[in-house]
Amino acid sequence: MQGAIGMQFYFIVAPETVVAEDLADAIRAFDPEATVKTFRAENDALAGLEVMRPRLLILSREPDGFPATPLGRAVVATGVPIAFLGTFAGGRQDETVVLSSPFSDETVAALLRGLNA
Protein backbone atom coordinates (compact mmCIF):
# COMPACT_ATOMS: atom_id res chain seq x y z
CA MET A 1 0.00 0.00 0.00
CA GLN A 2 1.40 3.41 -0.94
CA GLY A 3 0.61 6.73 0.67
CA ALA A 4 0.37 10.01 -1.20
CA ILE A 5 1.37 10.01 -4.86
CA GLY A 6 5.13 9.99 -5.14
CA MET A 7 5.69 9.15 -1.48
CA GLN A 8 8.13 6.31 -0.95
CA PHE A 9 8.30 4.15 2.14
CA TYR A 10 11.52 2.50 3.27
CA PHE A 11 11.94 -0.03 6.08
CA ILE A 12 15.11 -0.45 8.10
CA VAL A 13 15.57 -3.33 10.52
CA ALA A 14 18.52 -2.76 12.82
CA PRO A 15 18.84 -3.47 16.53
CA GLU A 16 21.22 -0.50 16.88
CA THR A 17 19.09 2.66 17.02
CA VAL A 18 21.97 4.96 16.06
CA VAL A 19 22.72 2.93 12.93
CA ALA A 20 19.05 2.84 11.92
CA GLU A 21 18.64 6.59 12.39
CA ASP A 22 21.85 7.39 10.50
CA LEU A 23 20.69 5.19 7.64
CA ALA A 24 17.25 6.84 7.70
CA ASP A 25 18.92 10.27 7.49
CA ALA A 26 20.99 9.12 4.50
CA ILE A 27 17.84 7.90 2.74
CA ARG A 28 16.11 11.23 3.39
CA ALA A 29 19.16 13.09 2.06
CA PHE A 30 18.61 11.27 -1.24
CA ASP A 31 14.81 11.29 -1.15
CA PRO A 32 13.53 14.20 0.98
CA GLU A 33 9.91 13.04 0.52
CA ALA A 34 10.68 9.56 1.88
CA THR A 35 8.99 8.08 4.89
CA VAL A 36 11.46 5.82 6.68
CA LYS A 37 10.26 3.34 9.27
CA THR A 38 12.86 1.85 11.59
CA PHE A 39 12.39 -1.39 13.46
CA ARG A 40 14.58 -3.06 16.05
CA ALA A 41 13.33 -6.57 15.29
CA GLU A 42 12.24 -8.48 12.19
CA ASN A 43 8.85 -9.36 13.71
CA ASP A 44 8.08 -5.65 14.08
CA ALA A 45 8.87 -5.08 10.39
CA LEU A 46 6.66 -8.05 9.51
CA ALA A 47 3.76 -6.32 11.26
CA GLY A 48 4.62 -3.12 9.35
CA LEU A 49 4.24 -4.99 6.04
CA GLU A 50 0.59 -5.53 6.89
CA VAL A 51 0.09 -1.75 6.82
CA MET A 52 2.35 -0.57 3.99
CA ARG A 53 4.60 -1.88 1.26
CA PRO A 54 8.08 -0.35 1.36
CA ARG A 55 10.12 0.56 -1.69
CA LEU A 56 13.10 -1.17 -0.05
CA LEU A 57 13.84 -3.18 3.07
CA ILE A 58 17.32 -2.83 4.55
CA LEU A 59 18.35 -5.28 7.26
CA SER A 60 21.36 -5.18 9.53
CA ARG A 61 22.05 -8.92 9.52
CA GLU A 62 23.76 -11.76 7.70
CA PRO A 63 21.82 -12.59 4.51
CA ASP A 64 22.18 -16.36 4.84
CA GLY A 65 19.00 -17.94 6.11
CA PHE A 66 16.89 -14.79 5.75
CA PRO A 67 14.57 -16.15 3.03
CA ALA A 68 13.44 -18.92 5.41
CA THR A 69 12.37 -16.48 8.14
CA PRO A 70 8.76 -15.22 8.42
CA LEU A 71 9.86 -11.73 7.30
CA GLY A 72 11.93 -13.20 4.48
CA ARG A 73 9.01 -15.23 3.15
CA ALA A 74 6.67 -12.23 3.35
CA VAL A 75 9.10 -9.89 1.62
CA VAL A 76 9.85 -12.36 -1.16
CA ALA A 77 6.11 -12.95 -1.67
CA THR A 78 5.46 -9.21 -2.06
CA GLY A 79 8.48 -8.57 -4.28
CA VAL A 80 9.96 -5.87 -2.06
CA PRO A 81 13.67 -5.38 -2.84
CA ILE A 82 16.02 -6.33 0.00
CA ALA A 83 19.46 -5.04 0.94
CA PHE A 84 21.62 -6.15 3.82
CA LEU A 85 23.80 -3.82 5.85
CA GLY A 86 27.09 -5.31 6.92
CA THR A 87 30.73 -6.06 6.35
CA PHE A 88 30.15 -9.37 4.55
CA ALA A 89 29.93 -8.10 0.93
CA GLY A 90 33.25 -9.53 -0.20
CA GLY A 91 33.26 -12.95 -1.77
CA ARG A 92 29.48 -13.38 -2.20
CA GLN A 93 28.67 -15.43 -5.26
CA ASP A 94 24.94 -14.67 -5.38
CA GLU A 95 22.75 -11.69 -6.26
CA THR A 96 22.44 -10.49 -2.67
CA VAL A 97 22.58 -6.70 -2.39
CA VAL A 98 24.85 -5.60 0.44
CA LEU A 99 25.29 -2.03 1.62
CA SER A 100 28.77 -2.03 3.08
CA SER A 101 29.17 -0.80 6.61
CA PRO A 102 30.17 1.84 7.37
CA PHE A 103 27.92 3.52 4.82
CA SER A 104 27.83 7.12 3.62
CA ASP A 105 25.21 9.35 2.04
CA GLU A 106 26.88 8.57 -1.31
CA THR A 107 26.75 4.77 -0.91
CA VAL A 108 23.12 4.93 0.19
CA ALA A 109 22.29 7.18 -2.78
CA ALA A 110 23.98 4.67 -5.13
CA LEU A 111 21.89 1.86 -3.62
CA LEU A 112 18.67 3.83 -4.05
CA ARG A 113 19.54 4.87 -7.61
CA GLY A 114 20.04 1.15 -8.35
CA LEU A 115 16.39 0.53 -7.50
CA ASN A 116 15.43 2.52 -10.59
CA ALA A 117 17.91 0.81 -12.89
pLDDT of residue 1: 33
Q: What pLDDT, on the 0 to 100 scale, is given for residue 4?
A: 37
Domain boundaries, the chain: 9-115
Give pTM, 2 decimals.
Answer: 0.88
**pLDDT per residue as tens digits for the range 33-72:** 999 999 999 999 999 999 999 999 999 998 989 999 999 9
Q: Contact, 62 vs 45, CB < 8 A?
A: no
Q: Which CATH architecture has domain 9-115?
A: 3-Layer(aba) Sandwich (3.40)
CA 47/CA 41 separation, integer angstroms: 10
- Give the pLDDT confidence score for residue 91 in this predicted structure: 58
What is the C-alpha separation between 47 and 66, in angstroms, rounded?
A: 17
